[in-house]
């Protein structure tokens, strides 16, 4: 008996989706930051679980979604399309909510999305896609019975198959989550070979690390006005050469990104290089360029360039 399937993690920005994914897969895959909307692309973490007691062996493919928000630009629309696509192809939906916050209208927006997935899948599946509610950040809730009114409020909004309080950060409640998940997944094949943890190539991860470093080192509008494209990625046994361009929207932003005498770019580059070296296990030579590309966020073509599959297709001349 082997269980397998695709699991979508859905939730408002900052609910803890990326933290949960990382806690489950045990590697730093998704990009985590205290600022919302840092996850722009779907990142799959793959969990290989051996048989344990009455729990059968299983493979869980986790699909991280961009933060759910109202689309306000081409990039925003692409993010929402990805959320919908992720929902259409999954076996269990995990709705993750911040238990330290009160419910507000955007929580219902997330639940509406989960409900739509169920409705669509009813046409092709004999049973409904289960939706679990994960009440995250319970490490911030003391005493624990303060959770009860919130659980009641959520129950009124939706008939969840499971409601599981947990802390993704402290890795509390994850074992129970895994047991319930495996039980809810259908019998199925091993989709990915053992030992594979993500289907995202290193090239894309490097761009995400540079982007996260910009998020950490600069303020306000800068991170949201920038995107990072890796132009060169050359892997040798001891040294990896990476060249990347940071695109921003205005000269003023470029000035901030470069900094006085190039200091900001140097700071971002050094920190990102150290982290990429940790990920690749080789020395890294990282070259960063800053370019003003006005209105990149509204250019459909540009946003599609960011998609790593398309990048690979272009590099290998498949299109
Ligand atoms: P995402 O936008 O949903 O992917 O959220 P992130 O995973 O990036 O997390 C947003 C913020 O919440 C980060 O600062 C995390 O460290 C924090 N966070 C996530 N899970 C927990 C948790 O269980 N407890 C606490 N206290 N903080 C958490
Ligand atoms: Mg995230």
* Tens-digit pLDDT profile for residues 139-162: 999 999 999 999 999 998 888 999
Task: Give me the number of domains the chain comprises.
Answer: 2
Report whether pLDDT(207) > 60. Answer: yes
**Final residue before a domain boundary, out of 153, 184, 215:** 184
Question: Do residues 27 and 69 both lie within one domain?
Answer: yes
Q: Which has the closest alpha carbon to 11: 145, 130, 191, 135?
A: 135
What is the distance in A from the centroid of ligand 1 to the CA of 4? 27
CA-12 nearest atom, ligand 1 = 3
- Give the Cα separation of 196 and 210 in Å (integer): 23
Question: Do residues 172 and 219 both lie within one domain?
Answer: no
Give per-residue pLDDT as tens, 224-283: 778 888 888 887 888 999 999 999 989 999 999 999 999 999 999 999 999 988 877 889
Q: What is the DSSP string of 6-50?
A: EEEEE--TTSSHHHHHHHHH-S--S---SSS----S-EEEEEEE-
Question: Do residues 46 and 161 both lie within one domain?
Answer: yes
Question: Do residues 45 and 144 both lie within one domain?
Answer: yes
Q: Is residue 191 part of a domain?
A: no
Report whether pLDDT(163) > 70. Answer: yes
Q: Is residue 189 part of a domain?
A: no
Question: Do residues 122 and 8 both lie within one domain?
Answer: yes
Q: How far is CA 152 from CA 111, 140, 146, in A?
A: 15, 19, 11
**Stronger pLDDT, 269 or 303, i.e. the higher one:** 269
Q: Is residue 194 part of a domain?
A: no
- Give the Cα separation of 198 and 175 in Å (integer): 21
What percentage of the chain reaches a pLDDT higher than 70? Answer: 71
Report whether pLDDT(116) > 90. Answer: no
Question: What pLDDT, on the 0 to 100 scale, is given for residue 197?
Answer: 60
Question: What pLDDT, on the 0 to 100 scale, is given for residue 193?
Answer: 64
Ligand nearest to the CA of 11: 1
Ligand nearest to the CA of 167: 1
Q: Is residue 190 part of a domain?
A: no
Residue range(s) defining the domain that contains residue 71: 2-184
**Stronger pLDDT, 294 or 89, i.e. the higher one:** 294
Q: Which has the closest alpha carbon to 147: 101, 107, 108?
A: 101
Question: What pLDDT, on the 0 to 100 scale, is given for residue 118?
Answer: 59
* pTM, 2 dp: 0.65
| CATH number of 258's domain | 3.30.300.20
CA-13 nearest atom, ligand 1 = 2
**Final residue before a domain boundary, out of 184, 218, 248:** 184
Question: Do residues 212 and 129 both lie within one domain?
Answer: no
- β-partners of residue 310 are none
What is the distance in A from the centroid of ligand 2 to the CA of 42? 10
| CATH number of 82's domain | 3.40.50.300
What is the distance in A from the centroid of ligand 2 to the CA of 54? 33
Question: Do residues 17 and 126 both lie within one domain?
Answer: yes
- Give the Cα separation of 2 and 43 in Å (integer): 24
Q: Tell me the Ramachandran region of residue 223: left when phi exceeds 0, alpha when psi lies from -120 to 50, beta otherwise.
A: alpha
Question: What pLDDT, on the 0 to 100 scale, is given for residue 97?
Answer: 93
Q: Is residue 196 part of a domain?
A: no
Q: From 169, 223, 224, give the residue whose CB has the most ligand 1 atoms within 8 Å, as the site to mutate.
A: 169
Per-residue burial over 168-195, b if 16 or more Cβ lie within 10 Å, else e, is bbeeebbeebbebbbebbeeeeeebeee
Q: Is residue 192 part of a domain?
A: no
Q: Which residues surround ligand 2, an ion (CB under 5 A)?
A: 17-18, 39
């Amino acid at each position: 008996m082997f269980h397998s399937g695709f699991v979508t993690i859905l939730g408002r920005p900052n609910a803890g989706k990326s933290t949960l994914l990382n806690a489950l897969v045990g590697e730093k895959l998704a990009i985590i930051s205290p600022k919302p909307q840092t996850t722009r692309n779907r990142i799959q973490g793959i969990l290989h679980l051996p048989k344990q007691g009455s729990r059968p062996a299983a493979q869980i493919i986790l699909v991280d979604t961009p933060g759910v928000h109202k689309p306000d630009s081409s990039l925003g629309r692409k993010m929402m399309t990805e959320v919908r696509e992720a929902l259409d192809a999954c076996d269990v939906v995990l709705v993750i909510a911040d238990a330290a916050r009160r419910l507000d209208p955007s929580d219902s927006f997330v639940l509406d999305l989960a409900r739509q997935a169920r409705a669509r899948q009813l046409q092709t599946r004999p049973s409904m896609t289960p939706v679990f509610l994960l009440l995250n950040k319970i490490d911030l809730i003391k005493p624990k019975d303060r959770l009860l009114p919130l659980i009641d409020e959520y129950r009124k909004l939706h008939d969840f198959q499971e409601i599981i309080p947990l802390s993704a950060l402290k890795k509390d409640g994850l074992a129970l989550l895994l047991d319930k998940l495996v039980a809810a997944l259908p019998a199925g094949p091993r989709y990915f070979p053992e030992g594979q943890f993500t289907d995202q190539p290193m090239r894309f991860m490097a761009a995400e690390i540079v982007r996260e470093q910009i998020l950490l080192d600069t303020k306000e509008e800068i991170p949201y006005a920038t995107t990072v494209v890796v132009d060169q990625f050359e892997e040798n046994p001891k040294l990896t050469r990476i060249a990347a361009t940071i695109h921003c929207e205005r000269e003023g932003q470029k000035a901030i990104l470069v900094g006085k005498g190039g200091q900001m770019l140097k700071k971002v580059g050094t920190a990102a290089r150290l982290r990429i070296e940790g990920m690749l296990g080789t020395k890294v030579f990282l070259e960063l360029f800053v370019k003003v590309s006005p209105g990149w966020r509204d250019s459909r073509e540009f946003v599609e360039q960011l998609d790593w599959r398309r990048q690979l297709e272009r590099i290998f001349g498949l299109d």
